[in-house]
Amino acid sequence: MYGESACSLVKELDRNRGTLPPYNNELIGEVEKEICHLIQQNVADDFKAHEDSNVGAGLDYTATIRTRHAIIQRNLRCLLAYHYNRLRCLRTMRWEFGSILPPDIKVNLSHAESNWFSKYSSMLATYMRSIGDDGGVNLTIDLNPPKALYIEVKCLVDYGQYELSDGSLVLLKESNRYFLPRAECEDLIRQGVFQHIIN
């Protein structure tokens, strides 16, 4: 039955929502063969229709050609939906995992998807370097906006004086708690100087 392979691709997307299953070369190939076969049949029927109209037989192939054309269009939409949703999932993974995908996800990509991911990553990195001061802004750090601009932190080591962006100095001593701007603390939390205290 025409369109079953394309429908199976869309069902596969629905079953694996939010994940990236292995690229289905087999079904993609079947859909492509079906599209080529239908196009060849339409071309042959169109040729027959022109011959019959010259002879005067009056056979009408229009309905058959239009039906096949509708099936071709449906198959193409299914292929586009399959590839678009895979790329959308890849784009989301770039923001979540960074520029290096986990090996179990990388195995599921086609060659074209791997190329797309590397180009998207390099374009995103170029854009992030171009905005802001001092080498750019990393947009992938906080995907959700912070609820508060200031956070409470506990100093884990004797760090000494630390200058904030407004020019004020803070003496950071071990076991002391501080209420500082989130942007000032993120690097020190990653370095292990601060521990974020969540109330």
**Residue 4 and residue 1: Cα distance in Å, rounded?**
6
19-55: pLDDT as tens digits: 889 999 999 999 999 999 999 999 998 888 777 666 5
Please tell me the pTM assigned to this model. Answer: 0.70
Q: Please indicate, yes or no, if residue 102 is contained in any of the structural domains.
A: no
Out of 96, 117, 142, a domain closes at: 96
Query: What pLDDT is attached to residue 25?
Result: 92
How many domains does one find in the chain? 2
Query: What pLDDT is attached to residue 59?
Result: 64
Q: Please indicate, yes or no, if residue 132 is contained in any of the structural domains.
A: no
Query: What pLDDT is attached to residue 80?
Result: 95
Query: What pLDDT is attached to residue 54?
Result: 60
Q: Judge if 155 and 90 occupy the same domain.
A: no
Query: What pLDDT is attached to residue 185?
Result: 85
Query: What pLDDT is attached to residue 55?
Result: 55
**Residue 166 and residue 188: Cα distance in Å, rounded?**
17
Q: Please indicate, yes or no, if residue 130 is contained in any of the structural domains.
A: no
Task: Indicate which CATH number applies to the domain containing 178.
Answer: 3.40.5
> Kind and range of the H or E element at 40?
helix 25-55
Task: Indicate which CATH number applies to the domain containing 67.
Answer: 1.20.58.1030
End-to-end CA distance of the chain: 60
Query: What pLDDT is attached to residue 48?
Result: 84
Sort 105 into a burial class: Cβ within 10 Å, 0-12 / 13-18 / 19+.
middle
Give the domain extent around 13: 4-96
- Which parts of the chain register pLDDT below 70? 52-59, 142
Q: Please indicate, yes or no, if residue 192 is contained in any of the structural domains.
A: yes
Q: Please indicate, yes or no, if residue 105 is contained in any of the structural domains.
A: no
Q: Please indicate, yes or no, if residue 125 is contained in any of the structural domains.
A: no
Q: Please indicate, yes or no, if residue 8 is contained in any of the structural domains.
A: yes
Q: Please indicate, yes or no, if residue 142 is contained in any of the structural domains.
A: no
